[in-house]
Amino acid sequence: MKTQRLSRARRSLLSCAPISEQRIRDRSMRAALSCSRDSNEFANQQSFDRAMAALVDAIPIPPETTEWFADKEFVPASRWTWKKMVRNPAVLAVGIALLVIAGVFVFNFLNHLNDFPGSAMARKLLMVASSTRPVLLDPVNADAGTLGDLFFMKHGLEHYEVPPEFADFRTIGCRVFEDEESRRIAQIWLAEKRMQLFLFPAERDIKTSAVLRFAGWRYIQQEGWTGAVSEHNGVCFMAALRGRKEDLNQYVSEAKE
């Protein structure tokens, strides 16, 4: 390509083209040079510049001046500073990565701060609650408190009793299903605020198989759903609804009073 056809910016760069090849540090200059390798005009310029640089290099240094060339430092050594270090792309990348990892740790820590035995299972059941449609359940119009007998008689589920706090609410339907670990779970749909109740086996110690108990009500939240969980006789009960902790808390509190 002829130099004349090059863009103005490239022509400007070519005029300033380095005399030594090793001084080419930026991409735009390399690109400009690669486009003009075959140009006679540019070849003449380069020969001219090299001859001029050689002449400059031949400028003799007076002996009284060479005394100054001893080991004096007139330029401060590059000092280590926090600013410099932070601007280093590698350090910046590592810093961001560490922040993200720390953020994930903090997020997980806060998430599991209120964990209790069976909380993992309860979270899974909140997902089930959010995806369940009423048609999946067998229609049952009764008080929730009476379904404990049904679960025992029909499915052989012992102690699958709805706590007194929720025993008087009318039900729409119920079902018993197994999760991926073959644990049997009872699900009840209430007319009250389309609340769902779950009864599932409490978590057990891996070594001793003893039930891991906890007292009172524990709350979990996930994707807009809230669950209040209690444990009794080795069975966990969870009342779940779409809403905040306060929406559930009133049922538990009222019942307590």
Partner 1 sequence: MPDRKQNLPQLYRFCFLMLGDSRKAQEVFHATLREAAVRAAHGELPSEPFWLFRHARWRCLEESETDLQAEPLQIEAHEITPEAPLQIEQLEPAQLAIWISGAPEPQRTALALFYLNEFDYREILDLADLKLSELSRLLLTGRRQFQAWLNTMVPQISKI
For partner 1, the binding residues (CB under 8 A) are 8-9, 11-13, 15-16, 18-20, 23-26, 29, 40-41, 44-45, 47-62, 64-65, 68-69, 72-76, 78-79
Q: Which is nearer to partner 1, 44 or 253 (CB)?
A: 44
We find the least distance from the C-beta atom of residue 30 to partner 1, in angstroms, to be 12
54 or 191: CB nearest partner 1: 54
Instruction: Show Cβ contacts of residue 127 under 8 Å, excluding neighbours closer than 6 positions.
Output: 222, 223
Closest separation between CB of residue 244 and partner 1, Å? 57
In contact, 25 and 50? CB cutoff 8 Å: no
227, HSE (Cβ side, Cα atoms, 13 Å): 29
Q: Which is nearer to partner 1, 84 or 194 (CB)?
A: 84
Burial (CB count within 10 angstroms: exposed 0-12, middle 13-18, buried 19+), residue 255? middle
Q: What share of the chain is helix, strand, coil (3-state, %, to 5)?
A: 50, 20, 35
E-assigned strand segments in the chain: 138-139, 171-178, 184-190, 196-201, 218-222, 225-232, 235-242
Shortest approach of partner 1 to residue 54 CB, angstroms? 8
CB of 87 to partner 1, least distance (A): 14
Nearer to partner 1 by Cβ, of 66 and 141: the residue is 66
In the bound complex, what is the minimum distance in angstroms from residue 44's beta carbon to partner 1? 5
Q: Which is nearer to partner 1, 66 or 182 (CB)?
A: 66
